[in-house]
């Protein structure tokens, strides 16, 4: 599985484990009924704030207790409760120049091999629920998760790792700073990105339970799909998670789940984005079928094209597809805009740049042929266009394109109405001197 922008194997190269056994011989004050006596709290509150500052923790100490000291190492052990901040245990060193070590309560609360609480388990009332104490970190990550369970995985010199399971059914490995700080970057990586038994994996949820969310996404897609198979594909930098589903009727889809848990979009396997292609269904057959559909739609829009290859642009308007087309029966392709309720339109690749779309299949030399024909229709047939440059658009939506002529004589500026592929006016470079700085192509600078 590919994890976007996360190098966890390297991050865990220097793993830190709480030294639970080193304090077994510590000298401890007598404990009260609730486990915290007045003298321990008094000593803790007097000494812990300075240790927090020395450790670099983002913690406003609201409560503290002295746990004890190790007579051999001269280390001191303190529990702190923070608001804001994540409560835990600080370990001071004999050498004041060495910053105190810090371990969150989820780490120190791990039971010993015999199942009993460890000697560094947190006891302060403010640390009574170390699981829910992770809520600010989860919120900072941007995912929607009501924490059900959590566990500490460990830390490196740069990051702290927790696993959380959510009542909504998802599970994540949280990657926070070290020490963990909700004011710094926090990433939530879906548990599906980690194989069971690996160096880093989830224990609080199963893959089967997490994949159950895919059925909900499929139902919300509006597609007629009885799911027969499903798989996790990848997680994008935006936090979106991609799944593939195979349907009983032989079709398949890529489902994009937004970071808030909702369905962002359902993509036919024929149009699956690079890196998220379908493997559970025959995407080649789907692409062939889709190419045929685009051929029919392009012809309906007045652009005969046997679509050989196509690529979708991100959707800007609901119920609209924008697709670059490469044709097998003509050298010039185009950018098609297909509306659900209209015939659609196809822009020449050069004119498409005025609309914010660039072609990758069609070379400019093939696209300028149409521009030459448009000039001829406007009475400027002596100019065979050799190159073209986008000048820009006005607030009203009119677009301007500068063209150069192959004979080296001064070229022209074409004016296109909004959403039109045919120029409505042709201007000489002198007439267009006030349009976007005027002509700039070498053969046009003298004007005309």
Model confidence over 394-420: pLDDT tens digits?
988 899 999 999 999 999 999 999 989
Cα distances (Å, whole numbers) of residue 91 to 70, 74, 188, 311, 320? 10, 10, 28, 58, 60
431 plus 351 within the same structural domain: no
61 plus 97 within the same structural domain: yes
167 within a domain of the structure (yes/no): no
31 plus 104 within the same structural domain: yes
Per-residue pLDDT for the chain (448 aa), expressed as one digit of tens each? 332 233 323 322 333 333 433 444 444 555 554 568 899 999 999 999 999 999 999 999 999 999 999 888 889 999 999 998 899 999 999 888 899 999 999 999 988 888 888 889 999 999 999 999 999 999 999 888 999 999 999 898 899 999 999 998 889 999 999 999 999 999 999 999 988 877 788 999 988 888 998 999 999 999 999 999 999 999 888 888 999 999 998 889 999 998 888 999 998 888 887 788 889 987 777 778 888 989 999 999 999 999 998 888 887 887 888 999 999 999 999 999 998 777 889 999 999 999 999 999 999 999 999 999 999 999 999 999 999 999 999 988 899 999 999 999 999 999 999 989 999 999 999 999 999 989 999 999 764 5
Beta pairing, strands 345-348 & 385-393: unpaired
Q: What angle (nearest 5°) sits at the alpha carbon of residue 311, between those of residues 306 and 313?
A: 130
Q: Tell me which of 127, 142, 171 is where a domain ends.
A: 127
338 plus 390 within the same structural domain: no
Q: Residue holding tokens 């009475």?
A: 379
d(CA 427, CA 410): 11
Determine the pLDDT at residue 24.
40
**Which residues does 9 contact at the CB level (< 8 Å), separation at least 6?**
199, 200
43 plus 123 within the same structural domain: yes
85 within a domain of the structure (yes/no): yes
349 within a domain of the structure (yes/no): yes
440 plus 416 within the same structural domain: yes
40 within a domain of the structure (yes/no): yes
Determine the pLDDT at residue 11.
27
274 within a domain of the structure (yes/no): yes
48 within a domain of the structure (yes/no): yes
Model confidence over 60-114: pLDDT tens digits?
999 999 999 988 888 999 999 999 889 999 999 988 889 999 999 999 998 888 8
254 plus 316 within the same structural domain: no
93 within a domain of the structure (yes/no): yes
Q: Tell me which of 281, 306, 340 is where a domain ends.
A: 281
438 plus 372 within the same structural domain: yes
107 plus 26 within the same structural domain: yes
Domain count, the chain: 4
264 plus 319 within the same structural domain: no
Q: Tell me which of 247, 281, 315 is where a domain ends.
A: 281
Determine the pLDDT at residue 35.
64
* pTM for this predicted structure: 0.61
50 plus 121 within the same structural domain: yes
Q: What angle (nearest 5°) sits at the alpha carbon of residue 310, between those of residues 306 and 315?
A: 130
Expressed as residue numbers, the domain containing 277 is 208-281
d(CA 151, CA 54): 27
197 within a domain of the structure (yes/no): no
28 plus 108 within the same structural domain: yes
């Amino acid at each position: 599985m590919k994890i976007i922008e996360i190098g966890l194997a390297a991050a865990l190269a220097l793993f830190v484990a709480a030294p639970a056994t080193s304090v077994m011989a510590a000298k401890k004050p007598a404990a009260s009924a609730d486990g915290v006596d007045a003298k321990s709290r008094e000593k803790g509150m007097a000494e812990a704030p300075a240790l927090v500052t020395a450790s670099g923790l983002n913690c406003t100490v609201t409560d503290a207790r002295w746990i004890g000291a190790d007579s051999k190492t001269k280390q001191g052990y303190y529990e702190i409760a923070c608001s804001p901040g994540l409560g835990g245990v600080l370990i001071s060193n004999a050498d004041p120049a060495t910053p105190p070590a810090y371990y969150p309560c989820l780490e120190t609360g791990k039971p010993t091999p015999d199942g009993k609480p460890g000697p560094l388990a947190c006891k302060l009332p403010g640390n009574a629920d170390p699981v829910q104490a992770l809520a600010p970190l989860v919120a900072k990550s941007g995912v929607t998760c009501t924490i059900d369970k959590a566990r500490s995985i460990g830390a490196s010199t740069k990051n702290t790792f927790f696993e959380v399971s959510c009542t909504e059914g998802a599970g994540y490995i949280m990657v926070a700073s070290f020490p963990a700080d909700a004011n710094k970057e926090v990433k939530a990586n879906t548990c599906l990105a980690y194989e069971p038994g690996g160096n880093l994996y989830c224990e609080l949820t199963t893959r089967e339970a997490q994949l159950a969310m895919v059925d909900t996404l499929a139902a919300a897609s509006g597609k007629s799909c009885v799911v027969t198979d499903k798989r996790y594909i990848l997680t994008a930098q935006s936090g979106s998670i991609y799944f593939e589903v195979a349907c009983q009727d032989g079709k398949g889809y890529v489902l994009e789940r937004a970071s808030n848990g909702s369905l962002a979009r359902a993509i036919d396997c024929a149009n699956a984005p690079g890196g998220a292609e379908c493997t559970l269904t025959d995407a080649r057959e789907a692409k062939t079928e889709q190419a045929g559909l685009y051929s029919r739609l392009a012809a309906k829009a007045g652009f005969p094209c046997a679509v050989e290859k196509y690529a979708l642009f991100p959707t800007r308007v609901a119920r609209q597809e924008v697709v670059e087309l490469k044709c097998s029966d003509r050298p010039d392709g185009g950018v098609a805009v297909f509306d659900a309720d209209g015939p659609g339109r196809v822009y020449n690749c050069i004119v498409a740049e005025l609309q914010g779309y660039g072609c990758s299949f069609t070379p400019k030399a093939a696209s300028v042929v149409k521009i030459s024909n448009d000039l001829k229709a406007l009475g400027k047939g002596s100019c065979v266009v050799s190159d073209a440059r986008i000048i820009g658009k006005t607030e009203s939506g009119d677009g301007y394109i500068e063209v150069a002529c192959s004979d080296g004589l001064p070229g022209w500026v074409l004016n296109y109405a909004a959403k039109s592929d045919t120029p409505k006016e042709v201007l000489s470079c002198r007439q267009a001197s006030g349009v976007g700085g005027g002509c700039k192509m070498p053969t046009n600078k003298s004007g005309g």
